[in-house]
Amino acid sequence: MDPVRHSVRRRAAVTAAVVAYALTAAICRPLTWPALGAVLIAGVPLCWIGVRRRPRRAEPVGARSAAVWLGVAGLAAAFELSVWLGPDDAAHPTLSTLADPLLSTYPGRVVGYLLWVSAGLWLVSR
């Protein structure tokens, strides 16, 4: 079998499976046991693959680059934590509060699941 054709078929099959999963999982109401089950159905295998897979050899990262990204991540985490722990202020909503209107609709949940699983697949394929 031609490797290119096999790769295209495999990619099409994975894409179809992810879309079917998102369409099915989005039926579940958010923050319910069925929604948790839907997340675990995709999340557990992706985590397992990510943990078991041997990573490719990475280029060394400079201390400056690491410090910049750690600083950005730290600031984002500190901001999100301060908003979450602070008073409930409509002027400073959390990211989850901002996402609620989108994720309250079926099409929004489908898009959310597609983005989530796609990000997971991208992470485990690196």
Task: Write the pLDDT tens digit of every residue in 79-96.
Answer: 888 877 877 767 777 777
How confident is the model at residue 126, as a pLDDT?
72
How confident is the model at residue 1, as a pLDDT?
60
pTM: 0.70
CB atoms within 10 A of CB 24: 13
3-state secondary structure of 10: helix
Indicate the burial class of 26 (C-beta count within 10 angstroms; 0-12, 13-18, 19 or more).
buried
Q: If you average pLDDT over every residue of the chain, what do you get?
A: 87
How confident is the model at residue 70, as a pLDDT?
94
Positive or negative torsion for Cα 63, 64, 67, 72:
negative
Count of helices and strands (H, E) across the chain: 5, 0
What is the rounded CA–CA span in Å between residue 44 and residue 96?
22
